[in-house]
């Protein structure tokens, strides 16, 4: 190689190019040797990911196991009017019993409709049209049915709160005068308990919904509105803070481009405020889920709150275990709702244009 560089030949096309074929040959000869001696980066990366995942899961699992152990040891030492406090095993059995009740209720519903269809078929065959019936199954709601009702209620209340809080928060963030006008009202109404809102909302809705067959059940509407009134404040405040903290240069760009108010709102203000808005929505959803249980207890809207209250009033030997299982389910659903909002926030923030 050195001799070739020291005595270049004029008729050799590679002789005038010291980084030509000779250098490429050296690189091609050295590359396999380097590849053979280097460790596989993919295995190291995989091992690192496994270690990170293990560290992320190890301590939460240890904490849960320690909690369950302490619960199992201390629960038998607590005596209540219904017996000793149920431990993890008793609560798990109560959950399995609730699922068995759900399966039995679905079987009863299917048998009811099958029998009704058979009776209707016989009536049609005999020409007795008056005997044809179309009744709805009127069995009591199961635990899973009440979970679904609670999710529908909090979804409606949260949607109403978001639709009300975001526009008001945007106006408060863009206008100092509007912010000063509503700030006292927000500070006064924000700490009001759902127990105080409930009788007011109940009287108003009872006066407004007088139909014998309304589109939505009265208790459902009352619970959703209480959730709305208690959960809109975090979204409103965070939206106002996010809007007011937008870089003034960004707004000046909108003026230079002569953007209309709608373009300014959708292309500048909303994208820049999204992190604050979604943080407020996460807080609002958590508050709404907590408020819902108390609202359902008092409004007697079929849901998890009513289930807990009915079990407390029932006072059977299994009631305490069923209530504790419901409390665990309420916590798990709240955690999952927060994870869903966090994922949605990450998705929207990733795709925002500002």
Query: Using one digit for the tens of pLDDT, what is the confidence trace for 203-226?
Result: 999 898 888 778 888 888 999 999
Q: Confirm whether pTM is higher than 0.85.
A: no
Other CB atoms within 10 A of residue 259 CB: 16
Q: What is the pLDDT of residue 140?
A: 85
CATH of domain 143-351: 1.10.3720.10
CA torsion angle for 37, 39, 41, 42 (degrees, to 10)?
A: 110
CA–CA dist 354, 352 (Å, integer): 6
Distance separating the N- and C-terminal Cα atoms of the chain? 56
CA–CA dist 185, 206 (Å, integer): 26
Residue 42 in 3-state DSSP?
A: helix
Q: What is the pLDDT of residue 230?
A: 93
Cβ(141)–Cβ(302) below 8 Å: yes
Q: What is the pLDDT of residue 352?
A: 57
CA–CA dist 354, 342 (Å, integer): 19
Cβ(61)–Cβ(55) below 8 Å: no
Cβ(186)–Cβ(239) below 8 Å: no
Q: How does pLDDT run across 243-288, given as a tens digit for each residue?
A: 888 877 777 777 777 777 777 777 778 888 888 999 999 999 999 9
Token representation of residue 111? 């048998």
- DSSP β-bridge partners for residue 83: 80
Cβ(228)–Cβ(157) below 8 Å: yes
Q: What is the pLDDT of residue 134?
A: 84
DSSP string, 277-339: HHHHHHHHHHHHHHHHHHHHHHHT-TTHHHHHHHHHHH--TTHHHHHHHHHHHHHHHHHHHHH
For residue 81, report the phi and psi dihedrals to the nearest 5 degrees.
-65, -20
Q: Which residues of the chain have pLDDT under 50?
A: 1-41, 354
Burial readout 215-235 (b: 16 or more C-beta within 10 A, e: otherwise): eeebbbbbbbbbbbbbbbbbb
The DSSP 8-state label assigned to residue 191 in this structure reads T
Helices (H), the chain: 2-6, 21-37, 41-74, 88-126, 143-174, 176-189, 194-208, 218-244, 248-256, 261-264, 270-299, 304-314, 319-351
Question: CB under 8 Å to 218, separation ≥6 — which residues?
Answer: 205, 206, 209
Q: What is the pLDDT of residue 79?
A: 84
Burial readout 314-352 (b: 16 or more C-beta within 10 A, e: otherwise): eeeebbbbbbbbbeebbeebbeebeeebeeebeeeeeee
Token representation of residue 245? 């903290």
């Amino acid at each position: 190689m050195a001799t070739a560089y020291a005595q270049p030949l004029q008729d050799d096309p590679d002789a005038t190019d010291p980084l030509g074929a000779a250098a490429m040959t050296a690189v091609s000869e050295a590359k396999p040797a380097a590849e053979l001696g280097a460790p596989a980066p993919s295995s190291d990366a995989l091992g690192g990911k496994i270690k990170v995942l293990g560290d992320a899961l190890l301590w939460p699992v240890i904490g849960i196991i320690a909690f369950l152990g302490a619960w199992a040891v201390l629960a038998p030492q607590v005596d209540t009017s219904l017996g000793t406090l149920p431990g993890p095993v008793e609560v798990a059995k109560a959950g399995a019993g609730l699922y068995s009740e759900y399966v039995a209720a679905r079987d009863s519903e299917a048998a009811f409709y099958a029998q009704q269809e058979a009776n209707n078929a016989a009536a049609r065959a005999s020409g007795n049209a008056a005997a044809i019936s179309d009744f709805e199954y009127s069995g009591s709601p199961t635990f899973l049915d009440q979970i679904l009702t609670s999710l529908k209620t909090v979804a409606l209340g949260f949607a109403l709160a978001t639709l009300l809080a975001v526009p008001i928060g945007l106006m408060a963030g863009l206008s100092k005068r509007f912010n000063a006008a509503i700030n006292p009202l927000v500070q006064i109404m924000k700490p009001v308990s759902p127990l105080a809102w409930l009788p007011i909302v109940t009287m108003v809705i009872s006066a407004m919904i007088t139909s014998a067959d309304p589109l939505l059940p009265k208790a459902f509407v009352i619970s959703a509105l209480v959730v709305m009134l208690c959960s809109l404040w975090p979204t409103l405040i965070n939206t106002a803070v996010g809007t007011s903290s937008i870089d003034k240069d960004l707004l000046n760009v909108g003026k230079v481009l002569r953007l209309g108010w709608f373009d300014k709102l959708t292309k500048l203000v909303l994208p820049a405020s999204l992190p604050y808005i979604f943080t407020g929505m996460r807080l609002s959803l958590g508050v709404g889920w907590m408020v819902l249980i108390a609202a359902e207890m008092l409004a007697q809207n079929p849901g998890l709150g009513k289930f807990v209250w009915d079990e407390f009033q029932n006072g059977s030997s299994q009631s305490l275990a069923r209530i504790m299982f419901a409390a665990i389910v309420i916590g798990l659903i709240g955690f999952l709702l927060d994870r869903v909002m966090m994922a949605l926030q990450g998705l929207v923030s990733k795709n925002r244009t500002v």
